[in-house]
Amino acid sequence: MTTTTTTRSVARDDARVGDIRGALGTIRRDDVTSRRGPRRKLMTLLAIVGPGLIVMVGDNDAGAFATYGQAGQNYGTALLWTLLLLVPVLYVNQEMVVRLGAVTGVGHARLILERFGRFWGAFSVIDLFILNALTVVTEFIGITLAAGYLGLPKVPAVLLAAAVIVAAAFTGSFRRFERIAVTFCAGSLLLIPVYVMAHPATSQMARGFLTPTMPGGAGQLSAVMLLIIGIVGTTVAPWQLFFQQSYIIDKRITPQFMRYEKADLWLGVLIVVIGAGAIMGAAAAAFAGTSGAGTYTDSTGLAAGIAAHAGNAAGVLFAIALLDASIIGAFAVSLATSYALGDALGVKHSLHRGVKQAKAFYAVYALLICTAATLVLLPGTPLGLLTQGVQVLAGVLLPSASMFLLLLCNDKDVLGPWVNGRGRNAFAALVVAVLVTLSVILTTSVLFPDITTTAILAIIAGCGLAAAAALGFALTTTRRTVAAPIDRQDRENWRMTPLAELGRAPMSAGRKLGIGALRLYLAVAMILVTIKVVQVALGH
């Protein structure tokens, strides 16, 4: 399809059209004047801030506290370098979602459904629903751990947290929800005083960030690699794609404010790295030279170790930060699920609507929270197995989510002049290849806990060969076709045509091959997951 600069209308929920009413400011719908001057630009940024901040801070959730804390307690500052490597990965993934949301006005789940068919649409939503439901359970596990350390009774603490999480979304006001969410995001900054109190050596922190190392020697290589994969997995999660794209649409952000939303995303990425670094650094300082080094248990053990090293106040602040992170994580993951199901089912799904106007949307949100809270409180619930399930399903879903994200961002019918350029595609393809490789290793390691270093290296080699073959095929195909140049002028006025007029995405030989390989991977992975579940159920 030839790119055009003609303004196009997109069929969208009328609740998602109007003034941008953010937590920190308002932009009128008819305000199309240019943003000149520092004050004008700052006010615009404050009004836009929200989607990138919430999705990133929500990613530093209970699971992230456990993973980063384990890295710091077991290996000191040696794995801090992984956080810097994740910065471009986080930004590239979420920046593509920013463009999809602002330009198309259609949620991620709906785009996959309409452009790639019912199978992939249903798979994405069903797998996401199960994964997110389990993830919300892990957030409530974090809430119970934080409450236990603070001396709060478990049942009232869980019920109160569930009530707060549900009530925040049920206000019927997008602005009120965002103000509550941004307030909890600010709570994540409590990790900064924890870091200061723990006082890790600045030279060690700098060395950890700037010098990539694999601690523990050859004997611990597999354990360290799996922990690195855990760091990547807890930082790059499938739900982020669905959340940010729909939230941008719900906030009524258009291409006119693209650069401000990208600045919002950078702010979120910065806070993620600061928080993760603070957890690793504080844990490294607290456990260095103690009997607890290398013997991670859980986040409560982290809080106790930090308190023993830096004082009771540091331990209390760490527990409060964990509680805060678990709540904001539950906000974001539950909302991502409600958005995705609303997209797939075609029902109204907007925070601008009250409960009576979007019953299914709010029902899904409340169901996830209430079910997770109940499971955590029920005696005998296999919480360890549920946590493991999050790892498995995240590994299964990430390759498909990454592939479809890249395909959509190269679809000229969807993004027109906003499609990826050649350089962005090269880097994005590299990121996707790395994520898929790590996903395969993660899934395999959970299914086969005794995986060896040799097996991990074999998987890396196999995925590398497959990526090289795919690159060769793509280059060969590209040489046979001459792509029309992309006219990127007047991009702010370009919008996607209604999905009903687009139909299915054209499938080249390369796309068919890639999607066929993905189907094969998913089939094998689901068979292995089923076998694992049966083994656990039988007690083996």
Which residues of the chain register pLDDT less than 70?
Answer: 1-12, 217-219, 385, 388, 391, 395, 446, 474-475, 477-485, 529, 532-533, 535-540
Three-state SS string across 498-535, please? CHHHHCCCCCCHHHHHHHHHHHHHHHHHHHHHHHHHHH
Q: How far apart are CA 388 and CA 63, in angstroms?
A: 11
- Is the CB of residue 62 less than 8 Å from the CB of residue 222? no
pLDDT of residue 363: 96
- Is the CB of residue 433 less than 8 Å from the CB of residue 471? no
- Is the CB of residue 185 less than 8 Å from the CB of residue 23? no
pLDDT of residue 10: 39
On average, the pLDDT of the chain sits at 87
Structure tokens, 186: 């600010």
- Is the CB of residue 510 less than 8 Å from the CB of residue 120? no
User: Nearest 5 degrees, angle CA 161-CA 167-CA 170?
Assistant: 150
Q: How far apart are CA 528 and CA 375, in angstroms?
A: 25
pLDDT of residue 478: 58
Structure tokens, 27: 């932009």
pLDDT by residue (tens digit) across 253-292?
999 999 999 999 999 999 999 999 999 999 999 999 898 8
pLDDT of residue 387: 75
Residue (of 45, 61, 149, 69) closest to 332 by Cα position: 61
Total-model pTM: 0.90
pLDDT of residue 536: 64
**Residue 347, C-beta contacts closer than 8 angstroms, at least 6 positions apart:** 341, 358, 360, 361
C-alpha distance from residue 373 to each of 64, 271, 378, 487 (Å):
19, 28, 9, 51
Three-state SS string across 35-62, please? CCCHHHHHHHHHHHCCHHHHHHHHHCCH
